[in-house]
């Protein structure tokens, strides 16, 4: 079996264009992957086609050497754009392998470790930044059966919080806790907003509401800062979604300060790299909660990863809170029932693209999430 060509498609979700790849073989088997990264859909699409010649003629089963060819041999650090392009190809190859063998991808990673996957809701708080709006929407998430939900209460703030903004953020957390009760976990998203002093002050203030974690309170590029916050915070710190290789995870793990890691398969160049990192984290008694804030193919890929990982903690779900047509652009989209994902046994990723439906939702350059602009929580097209 050999790869003969790669096709790419963009679905214009209003808050983030989703980029999908279809890797086609000479035996008629094809696989689907995803390379979404906020505002760079067309850039990653171009990168996929620039890399395409390196894999044409290759056996899709040869994942390791393919990844070396696409990353090491290119000899250019293209960051998340490069890695997402690689991931789109690599994930599609796992889909091909699973289909060729008649097995779900998790069986190729050592088998299934869980009967179902606990999920947490994200993207549910679209609307005004008020305690009342957050509380109302959080209560609805809990009514749907979710046992955990994540949110960023901090508006467009950066590095520091004026006192009124600090108090408003805390009021939102307080309102969500009151709305969902004590048995539902709340997870606080920091989006790399703060400096160390502000992050620690926030962690101490929110601790009474017993968050499951405080995610990326400081920039991921400063590992020492993340470690300092993790050691001083009374709330567990989660991080890792923006890291791009196992060496960065190794540096973070060596400090033994963070206990919840969030590898993003797209930023790491695919599923195999993410699975290796899950094992590295396991060696340090850590738990993984992979980042999955992209499109429906990434969601399905993360189900395969999480199903095979003993130290899996919880699965991120945006899908239910995206545009309703998301469920039409793939077959068998990931579903959450009473807060849990049932693990499919279909071959490969267990899904396929509906190209005709994708083409109904074109790319737009302002489809992205502007996290430092007022009102980003409304998750609508940024401009134009």
The catalytic residue positions are 191, 291
Helices (H), ranges, 41-78: 41-51, 63-70
CA distances, 303 to each of 63, 102, 291, 297 (Å):
19, 17, 11, 10
Neighbours of 219 (CB within 10 A): 17
Neighbours of 164 (CB within 10 A): 8
**Which pairing describes strands 237-239 and 260-261: parallel, antiparallel, or unpaired?**
parallel
Q: Which of 146, 225, 145, 139 is nearest to 190 (CA)?
A: 225
Write the burial class of residue 191 (CB in 10 Å: 0-12 exposed, 13-18 middle, 19+ buried): middle
Beta strands (DSSP E) in the chain are: 3-11, 18-25, 30-34, 116-121, 148-151, 185-189, 213-215, 237-239, 260-261, 287-288, 315-317, 330-331, 336-337, 340-342, 352-353
Q: What share of the chain is helix, strand, coil (3-state, %, to 5)?
A: 40, 15, 45
Beta strands (DSSP E) in 226-335 are: 237-239, 260-261, 287-288, 315-317, 330-331
- Residue 237 bridge partners (DSSP): 214
Beta strands (DSSP E) in 301-354 are: 315-317, 330-331, 336-337, 340-342, 352-353
Tell me which residue has tokens 């968050």.
211
């Amino acid at each position: 079996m050999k790869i003969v060509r790669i096709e790419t498609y963009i679905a214009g979700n209003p808050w983030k264009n989703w980029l999908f790849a279809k890797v086609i073989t000479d035996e008629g088997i094809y696989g689907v992957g995803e390379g979404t990264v906020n505002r760079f859909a067309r850039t990653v699409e171009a990168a996929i086609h620039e890399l395409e010649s390196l894999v044409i003629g290759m056996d899709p089963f040869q994942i390791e050497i393919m990844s070396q060819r696409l990353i090491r041999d290119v000899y250019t650090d293209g960051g998340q754009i490069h890695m997402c392009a690689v991931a789109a190809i690599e994930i599609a190859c796992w889909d091909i392998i699973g289909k060729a063998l008649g097995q779900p991808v998790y069986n190729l990673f050592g088998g299934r470790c869980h009967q179902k996957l606990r999920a947490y809701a994200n993207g549910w708080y679209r609307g005004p930044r008020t305690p009342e709006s957050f509380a109302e929407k959080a209560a609805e998430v809990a009514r749907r059966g979710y046992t955990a939900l994540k949110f960023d209460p901090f508006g467009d703030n950066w590095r520091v919080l004026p006192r009124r903004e600090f108090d408003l953020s805390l009021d939102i957390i307080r309102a969500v806790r009151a709305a969902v009760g004590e048995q539902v976990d709340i997870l606080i998203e920091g989006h790399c907003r703060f400096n160390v002093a502000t992050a620690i002050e926030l962690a101490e203030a929110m601790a009474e509401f017993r968050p499951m974690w405080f995610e990326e309170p400081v920039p991921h590029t400063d590992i020492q800062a993340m470690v300092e916050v993790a050691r001083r915070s009374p709330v567990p710190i989660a991080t890792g979604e923006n890291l791009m290789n196992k060496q960065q995870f190794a540096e973070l793990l060596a400090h033994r300060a963070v206990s919840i890691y969030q590898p993003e398969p797209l930023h790491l160049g695919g599923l195999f790299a993410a699975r290796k990192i899950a094992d590295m984290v396991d060696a340090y008694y850590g738990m993984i909660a992979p980042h999955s804030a992209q499109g429906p193919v990434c969601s399905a890929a993360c189900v395969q990863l999480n199903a095979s990982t003993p130290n899996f903690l919880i699965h991120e779900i945006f899908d239910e809170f995206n545009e309703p047509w998301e469920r039409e652009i793939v077959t068998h989209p990931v579903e959450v029932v009473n807060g849990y994902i049932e693990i499919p046994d279909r071959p490969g990723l267990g899904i396929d693209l509906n190209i005709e439906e994708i083409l109904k939702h074109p790319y737009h350059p302002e489809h992205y999430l502007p996290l430092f602009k007022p009102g980003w929580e409304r998750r609508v097209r940024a401009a134009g």
